[in-house]
Amino acid sequence: MIALLRVELTRLRWRRAVLALAGLGVAVSAVIFVAAVVSTQQDSLDEVVREYGSEVTRQIDDCARHPRRFGVDPDGDPRPACELVVQGYFGNQPLDLVEQRERGSGPALVAMLSVLMLLAGTTFAGHDWNTGSMSNQLLFEPRRVRVWLAKLLAVGTVAGTLAAVVLLAHWTGLYAVASARDLVQPEHAVAAAYKQAVLGTLLVGAAGLLGYGLTMLLRSTVGTLGLLLGATVSGAVAVSAGVESAERVLPWGNFAAFVVGRYDYYVYSDCFTAECNPVRHIERSGAAVYFLVVLAVVLAASVASFRVRDVP
């Protein structure tokens, strides 16, 4: 099995499309990192006032008088905190690892890598079917389950390794920049960021396996991409048409819940009184079950089909 896995890893390395997708992932990750660093480079308060006028100082004074309205702790002198908060209103936001993890570069990076590795798994399996090389491979190893499993492990290894390297490098770089700027981060912010890197690695690896499994089942790269696109569009149409509860089973909400920890959506159709709370939640545990079920169903159908169907 080890020898077969080495063969599949070599075949993956020879696939130009896979190498291009991996290279694109590294390049875009570098762009996202640079954008996060540059966009959080703070100007001085005087420069912000010079650019936006007296409205900045007016809001700072208002915050100093009523700090709770601006989310500032009223104990002690609130003015320094007010200056930071108000500058953020004018786009002068400091590098905040919590903000980057919840709504910034962290989720964006995981989403981008997931899409690219899903495409990598799809094109890797699709190439074997499109060129007819699958039958030749089975001449050397007729045990189909071993062949299917070796390909699966190869895709998962490459996707997971790429994601782990990129995500760990991203958060290490952001932490180094924050330290160099002497920015105090909330307690456990760094640990939570690296936790997201681990969770993101699992999700990116699963995306690669999903792309591979679907393509081995459908035996067509175009068919796999068409199915995924159709499911995404159908979900968006359902939500737009007012089927609010459909958001619970759509991938983007579960993605956000798994990567960030929780995702909130609204179901107003269930509320008939003023006291009703329309907010619904997707927790990380529920999102994990969602992705595991989808992946298990696809992979089980894929290997079962590969075992019994004729190979052209």
> Which range is least confidently modeled, 173-182, 206-215, 254-263, 269-278?
269-278
79 and 125 part of one domain: no
Residue at which a domain ends, from 92, 125, 153? 92
48 Cβ contact list (under 8 Å, min separation 6): 56, 87, 90, 92
199 and 296 part of one domain: yes
User: By CB neighbour count within 10 A (0-12 exposed, 13-18 middle, 19+ buried), where does 82 fall?
Assistant: buried
Dist. CA 231–CA 252, nearest whole Å: 12
pTM of the entire predicted model:
0.83
Residue where the block lists tokens 């699966």: 152
89 Cβ contact list (under 8 Å, min separation 6): 59
Domain total for the chain? Answer: 2
209 and 184 part of one domain: yes
Q: What is the domain extent for residue 83?
A: 45-92
C-beta separation of 213 from 298 below 8 A: yes
| Confidence check: pLDDT of 275 > 90 | no
78 and 211 part of one domain: no
Residue 68 CB neighbours (<10 A): 10
65 and 28 part of one domain: no
| Confidence check: pLDDT of 171 > 90 | yes
Residue at which a domain ends, from 92, 124, 156? 92
Highest mean pLDDT among 92-106, 163-177, 298-312: 163-177
pLDDT (tens digit per residue) in 225-271: 888 888 777 777 776 666 666 677 788 888 999 999 888 877 766 66
The model's confidence at residue 104, banded by pLDDT at 50, 70 and 90, is confident
85 and 208 part of one domain: no
Dist. CA 111–CA 240, nearest whole Å: 22
81 and 133 part of one domain: no
The pLDDT value recorded for residue 159 is 93
Alpha helices in 182-283 (DSSP H): 189-218, 221-240, 251-260
Long-range pairs, 268-274, Cβ under 8 A, ≥24: 268/244, 269/242, 269/244, 269/245
Q: What percent of the chain has pLDDT over 90?
A: 33
The single-letter code of the amino acid at 159 is: A
Please report, for residues 43, 44, 134, 186, the alpha-carbon distance to residue 83 in angstroms, rounded to integers and kept in the order given: 12, 10, 64, 18
C-beta separation of 255 from 249 below 8 A: no
> Which range is least confidently modeled, 24-33, 80-89, 155-164, 219-228?
80-89
71 and 159 part of one domain: no
60 and 35 part of one domain: no
301 and 220 part of one domain: yes
The pLDDT value recorded for residue 98 is 86
C-beta separation of 188 from 97 below 8 A: no
User: By CB neighbour count within 10 A (0-12 exposed, 13-18 middle, 19+ buried), where does 187 fall?
Assistant: exposed
212 Cβ contact list (under 8 Å, min separation 6): 121, 122, 124, 125, 151, 152, 155
The single-letter code of the amino acid at 6 is: R
The pLDDT value recorded for residue 223 is 85
11 Cβ contact list (under 8 Å, min separation 6): 124, 154
C-beta separation of 266 from 244 below 8 A: yes
250 and 296 part of one domain: yes
> Which range is least confidently modeled, 59-63, 130-134, 151-155, 173-177?
130-134
Helix (H, G, I), strand (E, B) or coil at 278: coil
Distance of CA 206 to the CA centre of its chain: 11
82 and 137 part of one domain: no
C-beta separation of 63 from 21 below 8 A: no
Structure tokens at 187: 């307690």
Average pLDDT over residues 264-287: 77
C-alpha torsion 31→35→41→45, nearest 10: 160
